[in-house]
Structure 1
């Protein structure tokens, strides 16, 4: 059963929040971010301003899963993770 829009947004925020607070993550989480972002990008309820954020999150997840040092990569992205979480809250 597919997740509803609200559940997808919450899942996205949860993974980003964990990356932000724990400074670590897994390739599987990056792949999950990619799937959720792809799904949200085609959803009619997504605010236009949020689409740019989603594209950035998609790039982050691709770079993360291909990084030889995923945890270091996540740590280097702390400022942008916080901003994305804030943006998601304001646009969703």
Structure 2
């Protein structure tokens, strides 16, 4: 049995919060974020504004996965990470 939409959003928020707080992460976390977002985007009942946020986060994860330094990539996105967590909170 897979995670519910609520659990997926909570997990996504936890990963982004960890990236923001620790200024570090892993390629595996970026891959997990991509899988979560793909699953969430398959839900046709998802709020349109949240979809836009998820698309931005997906792009962040893709670039992080291929970045020479994941820590530098996360550091460059600190402001966005904070905003994304706040945005996700406003939709959940």
Q: TM-score range by the shorter chain?
A: over 0.9
Aligned position for 2:56: 56
Q: Tell me the alpha carbon deviations over residues 60-84 of structure 1, each in whole angstroms, 9 at most, x when there is no partner.
A: 0000010001101101100000000
Q: Distance in 1 between the 2:12 and 2:46 partners? A: 13
Query: What is the number of residues matched between the two proteins?
Result: 92
Matches within 5 A, 1:1-92: 1-92=1-92
Q: Secondary structure at the match of 2:10?
A: helix
Q: Alignment RMSD, CA only? A: 0.7
Distance 1:28 1:79 in 2: 22
Deviation sequence 1:29-75 (CA, Å, 0-9, x none): 00000000000011134211000000000000000010001101101
Question: Gaps (5+ residues) in structure 2?
Answer: none
